[in-house]
Structure 1
Amino acid sequence: MRVAALVLGIIAGLWGMLVGFFGWGYIALTELDGAEQYFDQVANADVIKVAGLLAPILAIAGGAMALSKPRLAGIFLLFSAGGMFYAFGFHFWTMFAISMAAVAGLLALASGNEQG
Structure 2
Amino acid sequence: MKILSIVETAYRATLEEQDDTILWLNHVLKNAGADISLLLRGNAVNYGVRGQDATGLAFGARRHSHPPALDKDLEKMIGAGVAVYAVTEDMGDCGLSQEDVIGGLTALGRAEIPALFDRFDQVWHW
Q: Common fold, TM-score beyond 0.5?
A: no
**Structure exhibiting the larger radius of gyration computed from Cα positions:** 1
Greater fraction helix: 1
Normalising by the residue count of structure 1, what TM-score does the alignment of the two structures yield?
Answer: 0.31
Normalising by the residue count of structure 2, what TM-score does the alignment of the two structures yield?
Answer: 0.29
